[in-house]
Amino acid sequence: MADAETGNTMITIERDELSALTSFDDAVAFLASKGYEVGEAADLLGDGFTSIEKKDLVNVPLVLLDATITDSKDHIGSQFAVIRAITATDMRVRFSDGSTGIKEQVLSLLAKRPGGVRGVLVPRGLTSSEYFFCPNCESALSEGKCEEHPKAKISKGETFYFAV
Ligand SMILES: [Zn+2]
């Protein structure tokens, strides 16, 4: 049994079905009929999308094409979203987010729409908000100092959102 994840749908193909394929054309047609996107290795390995910093997508109109949620290898128990989109300037872009911003918005979209983020227009692109982080509290603060830990080294972070 071979499984592959295409978008949100798990496709199951029995080994017998694969064994029954006898030609290149049959194989391509069969996989397409099962819902696989049949594509060239060169395109798939490069994937055709340019990795981009989220800050470079602030106020840049986007149409979302795909988003996946993946378990983080670095932070056990946390997840991040990988989003693929095309900008109004015709750039194919890929970016990831593990925050309470975009990742949570992606989870909401995946829950609401059968096609997930595909076809979602974001006319104002991304927006961001700054936050401060106290290492002692291990939580975000709205201002640059912690009442409980006045000596803690407060760091600054930025959360990105789809502008809605
Ligand atoms: Zn604190």
Residues 15 and 71 in one domain: no
Mean pLDDT, residues 132-161: 89
Residue 154: domain span = 50-162
pTM of this structure: 0.65
C-alpha 53 – ligand 1 centre gap (Å): 29
C-alpha 139 – ligand 1 centre gap (Å): 8
Residue 61 is assigned to a structural domain of this protein? yes
Q: What is the pLDDT of residue 106?
A: 95
Quick: pLDDT tens for 64-102.
999 999 998 877 788 999 999 999 999 999 999 998 899
User: Read out DSSP for the chain?
Assistant: -EEEEETTEEEEE-HHHHHT--SHHHHHHHHHHTT-----HHHHHHTT-EE--GGGGBT--EEEEEEEEEE-SSSTT-EEEEEEEEETT--EEEEEE-STTHHHHHHHHHHH-TTTTTT-EETTBEEEEEEEEETTTTEEESSSS-SS-TTS--EEEEEEEE--
C-alpha 99 – ligand 1 centre gap (Å): 20
How many folded domains does the chain comprise?
2
Residues 62 and 33 in one domain: no
